[in-house]
């Protein structure tokens, strides 16, 4: 049985296999075909943080595959009142067939999966957001940006930056990350990515300079300056990141046909300008929709590979 906690757990071939499955499932739905590979299966969805896309895409996804999803908010469950993760994991996994968990410390997901008898999927932790990256790469494939691309990530060294590191390192493309001092990616995660990059040939470049990072890029991406759980740091972060807004002036340094991606929600006028978000280069809504298709691929794959 496999869990999906980070992209580090999967080989390049497996990632591409999941995306082929996702593409097939997307094409089927677009033609009105609904196969039911997960009929009578239940997905438990634990949310310890807010969500729009992750909840709706997982809930719709399991339903389209013939199964059923249960939304478990930490406000309503005993987990939110302090029931140990190891107990919740054993109880839930005796009843449901798959678990998706959105949480704070990544170690909570690791503990949950260690006690779970069914596959556990990371729907975002403080360290990683792998489901988002599958949707992002699927969008790059659809836009013809998946062959040796140069990806520029401008902003916080957060869960999204870490997930880009893992994707680049596994698939072997060039990733340039520009973050302000003190907001860089985790050294531990970087080292892990670099060990994979040695095998895949990925080029990972870190700097403090957004202009240098974006120059000639095929894909430009960013994320919020203050992630969930960092609300009280908003003002300090606004100051630290003021030179890291992806606006039209910065975007002009990328390739002329570069695409812009953002996991959303986006904060206009902060990490990205309204003009860039609403431009023809922006593929953010195609990217958001692909969450649904990519995660259907993940659920079917995990079920098939039990």
Q: Residue 50 to residues 54, 60, 127, 166, 302: CA-CA distances in angstroms?
A: 9, 17, 16, 24, 25
Asked if residue 270 belongs to a known ligand binding site, the reply is no
The alpha-helical segments, DSSP class H, found in the chain are 12-30, 53-64, 85-92, 106-115, 130-142, 159-171, 187-200, 210-214, 234-240, 248-251, 274-277, 284-304
Tell me which DSSP letter residue 36 carries: -
- Cα(86)–Cα(52) distance, integer angstroms: 27
- Examine residue 163 and tell whether it contacts ligand NVA (CB under 6 A): no
Tell me which DSSP letter residue 185 carries: P
- Catalytic-residue membership of 263: yes
- Catalytic-residue membership of 223: yes
- How many residues belong to the chain? 306
- Examine residue 125 and tell whether it contacts ligand NVA (CB under 6 A): no
Question: Site for ligand CP (CB under 6 A): which residue of 64, 116, 125, 132?
Answer: 132
Between residues 41 and 262, which has the closer beta carbon with respect to ligand NVA? 262
- Catalytic-residue membership of 146: no
Question: Site for ligand NVA (CB under 6 A): which residue of 16, 70, 206, 228?
Answer: 228
Q: How far is the CB of 49 from ligand NVA (least distance, A)?
A: 7
Q: Residue 148 to residues 8, 255, 260, 286: CA-CA distances in angstroms?
A: 19, 14, 17, 21
- Examine residue 127 and tell whether it contacts ligand NVA (CB under 6 A): no
Catalytic residue, candidates 218, 223, 262, 270? 223
Asked if residue 291 belongs to a known ligand binding site, the reply is yes
Catalytic residue, candidates 3, 55, 102, 293? 102
Catalytic residue, candidates 129, 162, 262, 293? 129
- Examine residue 200 and tell whether it contacts ligand CP (CB under 6 A): no
- Catalytic-residue membership of 126: no
- Nearest alpha-carbon partner for 146 in 247, 219, 87, 240: 219
- Nearest alpha-carbon partner for 263 in 104, 52, 61: 52
Instruction: Give the other-Cβ count within 10 Å of 35's Cβ.
Output: 14
- Catalytic-residue membership of 81: no
- Examine residue 224 and tell whether it contacts ligand NVA (CB under 6 A): yes
> Considering CB distances under 5 to 8 angstroms, the limit depending on partner class, which of ligand CP, ligand NVA, none binds residue 290?
none
Q: How far is the CB of 53 from ligand NVA (least distance, A)?
A: 7
- Examine residue 41 and tell whether it contacts ligand CP (CB under 6 A): no
> Considering CB distances under 5 to 8 angstroms, the limit depending on partner class, which of ligand CP, ligand NVA, none binds residue 262?
none
- Cα(267)–Cα(276) distance, integer angstroms: 12
Options 103-111, 157-165, 170-178, 288-296: segment touching ligand NVA (CB under 6 A): 157-165
- Nearest alpha-carbon partner for 124 in 139, 135, 140, 138: 135
Q: Residue 248 to residues 251, 274, 279: CA-CA distances in angstroms?
A: 5, 9, 9
Asked if residue 223 belongs to a known ligand binding site, the reply is yes
Residues that bind ligand CP (CB under 6 A): 51-54, 124, 132, 263-264
Annotated binding site for carbamoyl phosphate: 51-54, 78, 102, 129-132, 263-264, 291
Annotated binding site: 51-54, 78, 102, 129-132, 159, 223, 227-228, 263-264, 291
């Amino acid at each position: 049985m496999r869990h999906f906690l980070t992209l580090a757990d999967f080989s390049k071939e497996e990632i591409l296999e999941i995306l082929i499955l996702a593409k097939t499932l997307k094409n089927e739905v677009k033609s009105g075909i609904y196969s039911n590979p997960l009929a009578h299966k239940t997905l438990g969805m634990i949310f310890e943080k807010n969500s729009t896309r992750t909840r709706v895409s997982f809930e719709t996804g399991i339903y389209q595959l013939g199964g059923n999803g249960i939304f478990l908010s930490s406000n309503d469950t005993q987990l939110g009142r302090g029931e140990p993760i190891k107990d919740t994991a054993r109880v839930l996994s005796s009843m449901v067939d798959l678990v998706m968990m959105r949480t704070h410390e990544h170690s909570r997901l690791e503990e949950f999966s260690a006690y779970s008898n069914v596959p556990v999927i990371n729907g975002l932790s403080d360290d990683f957001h792998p489901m988002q990256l599958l949707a992002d790469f699927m969008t790059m494939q659809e836009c013809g940006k998946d062959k040796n691309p140069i990806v520029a990530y401008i902003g916080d060294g957060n869960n999204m930056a870490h997930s880009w590191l893992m994707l680049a390192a596994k698939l072997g493309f060039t990733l340039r990350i520009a973050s302000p001092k003190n907001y860089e990616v985790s050294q531990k995660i970087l080292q892990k990515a670099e060990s994979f990059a040695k095998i895949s040939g990925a080029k990972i470049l870190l700097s403090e300079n957004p202009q240098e990072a974006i120059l000639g890029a095929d894909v430009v991406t960013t994320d919020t300056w203050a992630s969930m759980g960092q609300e009280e740091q908003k003002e300090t972060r606004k100051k630290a990141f003021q030179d890291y807004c992806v606006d039209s002036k910065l975007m002009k340094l990328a390739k002329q046909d570069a695409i812009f991606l953002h996991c959303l929600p986006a904060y206009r006028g902060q990490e990205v300008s309204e003009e860039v978000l609403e431009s023809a280069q922006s593929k953010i809504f195609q990217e958001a929709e692909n969450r649904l298709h990519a995660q259907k691929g993940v659920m079917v794959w995990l079920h098939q590979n039990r």
